[in-house]
Amino acid sequence: EAGVAQSPRYKIIEKRQSVAFWCNPISGHATLYWYQQILGQGPKLLIQFQNNGVVDDSQLPKDRFSAERLKGVDSTLKIQPAKLEDSAVYLCASSLYRGNEQYFGPGTRLTVT
Amino acid sequence: GQQLNQSPQSMFIQEGEDVSMNCTSSSIFNTWLWYKQDPGEGPVLLIALYKAGELTSNGRLTAQFGITRKDSFLNISASIPSDVGIYFCAGQETSYDKVIFGPGTSLSVIP
C-alpha cells in the first residue's frame, strides 16, 4: 500500500514570495491533516479536513496560509506572502476516519530567506 | 493552551542499554501516543494508550499511561543502532481531538 505522498521535498524562497505544497493521502483515507514542524519542536496541527470539509483550522494563520481539498482526495497548502518564521517542515498526514491512526508523509522542508 | 514537556531533551547511550524517557502535561489527556521520527521522514506511531494506568508493549518498547492522566513514560530495552531518532509523546483529550505533540527526545545509540 502506497504511503502519503508529498511534493516538493525541499523548497527555498525569499520572504514575501508565495509557495504551495501538495499532498496525496493514502487511498481511501477520509481525514487529512497539515502540520507545521519548526526545527527542534514537535509537529503542530494547522488544519484538518474530513473529506473536503474543514474540521479544525483554529491554528492556521489565515492571513497568509490557505489550504484546500476540493475533491476530498489530494490537498494543497499555500503560503502567501511567506515570512522568515515560516521556515519549517510541513507534514501531511491522513487517517481512515477521524480518531484513527494518522500516517505521515515525509514532509516538505521550506526555507524562507 | 495545552503544553507537553519531555525529558530528557537528548540522550546518548551505549548499544544494549535500556532507555527511559517521560512526558508531562499541564492538563489531562485521555489518550497518550508515542511516535518516532527518523531524519527526513514523518513521525511513525509506536504505541497508543487509552486508559489511566495502562501498560502496553510493542516489542522492546513499553509505554505507560500515568494514573494522574498528566504523564506518560516510554522505555526501550536493549537498545540497538536503529533506535536512533527523535521520540515524541503526544496527547489527545479524546481520540477525535487534535493531537498535541511534545518537543521530542533525541536518542543517539553508540555502537
Average of per-residue pLDDT across A98-102: 90
**Within 10 Å of residue B6's Cβ, how many Cβ atoms?**
22
Q: What are phi and psi of B102, to 5 degrees?
A: -80, 175
What are A28's three cell numbers? 481511501
Strands B61-65 and B71-76, by their bridges, are: antiparallel
The reported pLDDT for the residue numbered B96 is 80
For residue A54, the cross-strand partners are: A49
Read off the pLDDT band of A2 (50, 70, 90): confident
Q: Do B99 and A106 touch (CB under 8 A)?
A: no
Among A11, A14, A31, residue whose Cα is nearest residue A82: A14
Q: How far apart are CA B6 and CA B20, in angstroms?
A: 11
* pLDDT < 50 regions, chain B: none
The reported pLDDT for the residue numbered A7 is 98
pLDDT digits (tens, 9 = 90+) for A11-60: 999 999 999 999 999 999 999 999 999 999 999 999 999 999 999 999 99
pLDDT at A107 > cutoff 80: yes
pLDDT digits (tens, 9 = 90+) for A46-81: 999 999 999 999 999 999 999 999 888 999 999 999
Q: Do B45 and A98 touch (CB under 8 A)?
A: no
Looking at the partner chain, which of B94, B95, B103 has a beta carbon nearest the beta carbon of A41? B103
The reported pLDDT for the residue numbered B101 is 97
Interface of B with A (CB under 8 A): 4, 40-45, 48, 88, 90, 94-96, 98-99, 101-104
- C-alpha distances (whole Å) from A69 to each of A8, A66, A86, B71, B111 are 17, 11, 22, 35, 46
The reported pLDDT for the residue numbered B3 is 87
The reported pLDDT for the residue numbered A45 is 97
* Non-local CB neighbours of A59 within 8 Å, separated by 6+ positions: A44, A45, A46, A47
DSSP B90-108: EEESSTTSPPEE---EEEE
